[in-house]
Structure 1
Amino acid sequence: MLWSARFSSSDPTVTGPAQMKFFTPAEVSAHNTRDDLWVCVLGRVLDLTELAQKNKDEALLLPLLESAGKDISHWFDPETKDVCLFVDQVTQCRRYYTPRGRFVDVPPPGPRSDWACEHSTPWWRDQRYCIGLLSHKTRFIRVVNTLTGQEQRLEVCSEETLAAILDRYLPYNNHAHSYTWRHAGSDLDMGATLEENGIHDDDHLLHQLGLHDDALCPALLLHFTDDLS
């Protein structure tokens, strides 16, 4: 019998993508320590810092520490959303496939007195740790302040609305809300994505031509519209 039977087979309610924050791979990779540990699992970004602190003296934490800031989707079955399984050639029983070693919340291969069968929801099914989604495609843009001439290059998620991109830009301009955002002479819909605003991603064309992604970086122009609110 597979020991994971104690875990619920149904996934918790997942917040819709439109309500979730998107992250770039670079943002995830920056959180790669025991005190700040993120991973990606099947498109979700998980903040496991609390889990790491709770298990900081456990050997089972090591595989997660080694993979901090990385995408570990290959550890999991996309259909079951559970850890991948294999058939043990000796026992002919199904076991979890953990080539980097058993990690937190993965049960041992056999009965043990130090393992509680009534264990709570494993971290990969616990929605508490999910802080957003990993972008399927990122792109670079230039944000140009026409009032000051300041230009900032940003890596953004293709799924993000202009409002979310504005939030990314706020550290460079606290008054970004006081500007009208435009491209090619038209005001941008801040509730829509770049693509929906007609700012198409032409990276595939650049690749066909053998050019780097930086060869075409669309510019969003900020026009000052009111007092500093």
Structure 2
Amino acid sequence: MQRPKYFTPREVSLHSTLDDLWLSYLGKVYDLTPLVNEFKGDVILKPIIECAGKDISHWFDPKKKDILTHIDPLTGCLKYYTPRGRFVHVPPPCPRTDWANDFGKPWWRDSYYEVGLLSAKTRWIRIINTLTSEEQTLEVCSEEILEEIVQRYLRYNSHAASYTWKHNHLNLDMTKTLCENGIIDEDEDFYQCRMDHDLHTESICLYFNDDLTEF
């Protein structure tokens, strides 16, 4: 089974324009660019555009996986709670003949827009190339296995697969996460001790294998 792709909140925030608009909610990441193109110029897009690149989980009921609702004090009817204003696929507050409700699934329930999962916890890791002495610090998703972290590192070294990845002189299992490889996330301990976690970032050392493998 293919593993889902994880994104950091920082990566989601980079997609914040009308031509490239992502949102995250309830642990998933969605590319709403096609939706924005479909309703381009419509004021009903405003709440979505205002939150481009952000997490909007607070719009949803986590149990029902639907937009939050409330009882309208004037009509006594159950309605969607949209404090930023009504947005795409939310029905109007009163019956209207010009509202098309034949769109099928509302966008927040449509897996078509889903591009991956939002990391529940990100962490920083130092990667040291022992051949060149170059060092990079990467923000990675705690859920990612080492093979996926290699993909993040490729922009710094296209021959990343030609190296043996080690921590504390032990070979790492590329099919496991950092924690599963014994590289523990100590952010909580640093927080409890009121210490700056930037003072100590776990490192991975790369040792060249001389086969010039590229991904």
- Shorter-chain-normalised TM-score: which range? over 0.9
Alignment pair present for 1:111 and 2:95: yes
Structure 1 residue 110 displacement after superposition: 2.0
Q: Which moved more, 1:180-189 or 1:111-120?
A: 111-120
Q: Residues 13-68 of structure 1, C-alpha deviation per residue, up to 9 Å, x if partnerless?
A: xxx8x721111111111111111101111010001111111111111111000000
- Select the residue among 30, 36, 40 that pairs with 2:20: 36
Closer, same or farther: CA 119–110 of 1 in aligned 2, 3 Å: farther
**SS at 1:139's partner residue?**
strand
**Once the two structures are superposed, what CA deviation does each residue of 1:77-106 show, in whole Å capped at 9, x if it has no partner?**
101111100000111000000000001111
Matched, 1:125 2:101: no
Structure 1 match to 2:3: 19
TM-score using structure 1 length? 0.90
Q: Give 1:209's aligned residue.
A: 193
Q: Is the 8 A contact 1:183 1:221 kept in 2?
A: yes
State which of 80, 100, 104 in structure 2 corresponds to 1:96: 80
Structure 1 residue 119: deviation in Å?
2.7
Question: Retained in 2: the 8 A contact 1:162–1:189?
Answer: yes
Q: 1:172-183, aligned counterparts within 5 Å? A: 172-183=156-167
Residue 227 of structure 1 deviates from its aligned partner by: 2.1
Contact 1:206 1:215 in 2 (8 A): no
CA distance in structure 1 between the aligned counterparts of 2:75 and 2:194, rounded to whole angstroms: 52
Contact 1:141/1:217, CA 8 A, preserved across alignment:
yes
Distance 1:37 1:139, change over 3 A: same
Shift of 1:215: 1.8
TM-score (structure 2 length as normaliser): 0.96
Structure 2: stretches of 5+ with no match in the other structure: none
- Counterpart of 2:144 (choices 145, 160, 173) is 160
> How far 1:166 moved relative to its partner?
0.4
CA contact (8 A) 1:88 1:95 kept: yes
Stretches of structure 1 that go unaligned for 5 or more consecutive residues are 1-15
Specify the alignment match of 1:64 in structure 2. 48
Q: Distance in 2 between matches of 1:175 and 1:127?
A: 35
RMSD: 1.1
3-state SS, counterpart of residue 100 of structure 2: coil
TM-superposed deviation, 1:120: 1.4
Q: % of aligned pairs identical?
A: 55
Match of 2:61, SS state, is coil
The AA in structure 2 aligned to 1:216 is H
How many corresponding residue pairs? 213
Within-5 A mapping of 1:74-89: 74-89=58-73
